Amino acid sequence: MSAFLHPGSGRALTLSTAAFTICFAVWTIFSIIGIQIKQQLSLSDTQFGLLVGMPILTGSLVRIVLGVATDRMGGRLVYTLTMLAAALATFLLSWATTWPQMLLAALGVGIAGGSFAVGVAYVSRFFDGARQGTALGIFGVGNVGAAVTKFVAPFVMIAFGWQATAQIWAGVLALTALAFWALSKDDPVTTARRGTRAPLRSLRAEFAPLKNLRVWRFSTYYFFSFGAFVALALWLPHYLIGVYGFDVKTAGMIGAAYSIPASIFRAYGGILSDRMGARTVMYATFLVSLAATAILALIPGLAVWAFLAVIFTLGFFMSLGKAAVYKHIPTYYPQNVGAVGGLVGMIGGLGGFVLPLLFGWLKDTTGSWPSCFTVLFLLVAACTLWMHVSIRQSRATLQAA
């Protein structure tokens, strides 16, 4: 079987992945500049958690809207407009001086996170079912943008300040939007629709699959595999500074080292999902994550090398799980990838908002840094139980039939 469903699929995947990398770098910018802002405004850990989580909130909530818009208007247009809007908001962030202004600007920056739903719907239309897991896994490698920010932003921020960092990131995103528009082409579905002038489906039809409990189960999986990844990507530099006494440069570089493999191996997760089945990959993700979060929660005095070994293992299996969740969507809902993918991405992104806020509140309330991993252990335990029960019920139904 051909690796590609349509001509131009390789270019679409390359451009989309590159654009998503820059979007993700902008989306997680507060993980670094937020540290300087925290000092400047004398913020508590709870306030810091809220600040870094605000872009994640916006980027999550807009995903379902952008996903449906992509299904109806085409990914090339929606992707470009999303990047330009996020670039403008990021530039305006550099002029914020008060806590309310920071929160408002952070909401605008979060539009960059909505690009994921756009890219999933756009890319999936270029590939056949046997290769969609691999293609979407490669696209998801754009998560490495978090590592780009963690590795580069500390040096830029120390040299020029957080305001200049925001302006530079905004400029790069705007240039990326223009390059994407110039080099990309409309997806085959949008091109065919334009040629035949076929009417758009009703919004009722677009959102109909969201009534299915399976969609919400996939969303819960993604709340952990993606939401917890984003939360840890945002929280890890702060955690390393607070627990192990690293400076911001070292903490940022370690955070980047965590984010890079946890992002790149998402492509491998897509390949495994195509070859072994997404369900098998999800079982492996959840079981290893249970062990890793239990170790991190129950052994607070881990040596730094042991902590890093466990957290890197956790990130690796999260990356596999992220790809496996999205392998399900075009398989079960081929006509509603935008809506379903948008909802799943929204719920997953909300994990990236809620969890850092919860981490900060628990730290302020209990004084315990490892309390964040107790939360993750309970979350992955719930996901594992729900998946296992659902699979057993499905098998029993098939046997009865």
pLDDT per position as a tens digit, 273-319: 989 999 999 999 999 999 999 999 999 889 999 999 999 999 999 99
Say which CATH number the domain at 277 has.
1.20.1250.20
Residue 202 resides in a domain: no
Sorting pLDDT into bands at 50, 70 and 90, what band is 201? low
- SS3 of residue 42 by DSSP: coil
Residue 305 resides in a domain: yes
Residue 259 resides in a domain: yes
Number of folded domains in the chain? 1
Asked whether 102 and 39 are in contact (CB, 8 A), the reply is: no
Angle at 166 between CA 98 and CA 246, to 5 degrees: 85
Residue 84 resides in a domain: yes
Q: Tell me how far apart the alpha carbons of residues 117 and 82 are, in angstroms, rounded to a whole number.
A: 11
Residue 109 resides in a domain: yes
Give the pLDDT confidence score for residue 342 in this predicted structure.
81
Sorting pLDDT into bands at 50, 70 and 90, what band is 400? low
Residue 196 resides in a domain: no
* pTM to 2 decimal places: 0.78
- SS3 of residue 40 by DSSP: helix
Q: Tell me how far apart the alpha carbons of residues 125 and 149 are, in angstroms, rounded to a whole number.
A: 30
Asked whether 234 and 349 are in contact (CB, 8 A), the reply is: no
Give the pLDDT confidence score for residue 176 in this predicted structure.
98
Comparing 112 with 330, the larger pLDDT belongs to 112
DSSP secondary structure code for residue 199 in this structure: P
Residue 297 resides in a domain: yes
Half-sphere exposure of 93 (CA within 13 A, CB side): 38
Give the pLDDT confidence score for residue 66 in this predicted structure.
92
Domain that holds residue 230: 10-187+218-400
Residue 213 resides in a domain: no
Count of positions (residues) in the chain: 401
- SS3 of residue 207 by DSSP: helix
